[in-house]
């Protein structure tokens, strides 16, 4: 069975600063993928970044980067130069096996202060 853990109850960051959102996972499958999604109060889940278990480099997408530490089973999201529009709920999700079924963490609320 797989498990995703997001334990930070809520995060605050000053505008223009960087913030790290934590995610740890557990799976016995050597082939897996990790996703991060952002969900503003409007409800839509927005894909941010993906890391495959065999990817040699940490994934980056614009201001988003993934600090992937395979031995520690962590996949933390780093947002650089925070913007007010980054205020949202952030979900980490794990996919294993042959299908695309996502296991979501419980999410972290990020609030960006002006």
Partner 1 sequence: DTEVTQTPKHLVMGMTNKKSLKCEQHMGHRAMYWYKQKAKKPPELMFVYSYEKLSINESVPSRFSPECPNSSLLNLHLHALQPEDSALYLCASSPGPSRGETQYFGPGTRLLVL
Interface residues with partner 1 (CB under 8 A)?
A: 31-33, 35, 37, 42-47, 50, 52, 89, 91, 95-102, 104-107
Please give the Cα distance from 18 to 25 (Å, whole number): 23
Q: Which residue has the tokens 């299908």?
A: 99
Closer residue to partner 1 (CB): 52 or 84: 52
For residue 53, count other CB atoms closer than 10 A to its CB: 17
Q: Between 5 and 74, name the residue whose CB sits nearer to partner 1.
A: 5
Q: How far is C-alpha 12 from the geometric centre of its chain's CA atoms?
A: 16
CA distance 18 to 15: 8
User: Cβ 113 to partner 1, closest distance in Å?
Assistant: 21
Q: Concatenate the DSSP letters of all residues of 67-83 into one string.
A: EEETTTTEEEEEE-S--
Q: If we measure between CA atoms, which residue out of 28, 64, 23, 32 comes closest to residue 46?
A: 64
Q: Between residues 46 and 81, which has the closer beta carbon with respect to partner 1?
A: 46
State the nearest-atom distance from the C-beta of 105 to partner 1, in Å: 7
Shortest spacing between CB 16 and partner 1, in angstroms: 28
Nearer to partner 1, 43 or 114 (CB): 43
Query: Minimal distance in Å, beta carbon 69 to partner 1?
Result: 19
């Amino acid at each position: 069975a797989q498990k995703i853990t997001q334990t930070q109850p809520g995060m605050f960051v000053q505008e223009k600063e960087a913030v790290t959102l934590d995610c740890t996972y557990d799976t016995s499958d050597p082939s897996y993928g990790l996703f991060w999604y952002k969900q503003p109060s409007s409800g839509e889940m927005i894909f941010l970044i993906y890391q495959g278990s065999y990817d040699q480099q940490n994934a980056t997408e614009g201001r988003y980067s993934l600090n992937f530490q395979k031995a520690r089973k962590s996949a933390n999201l780093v947002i650089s130069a925070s913007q007010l529009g980054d205020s949202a709920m952030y979900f980490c999700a794990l996919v294993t096996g042959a299908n695309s079924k996502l296991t979501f963490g419980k999410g972290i609320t990020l609030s960006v202060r002006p």
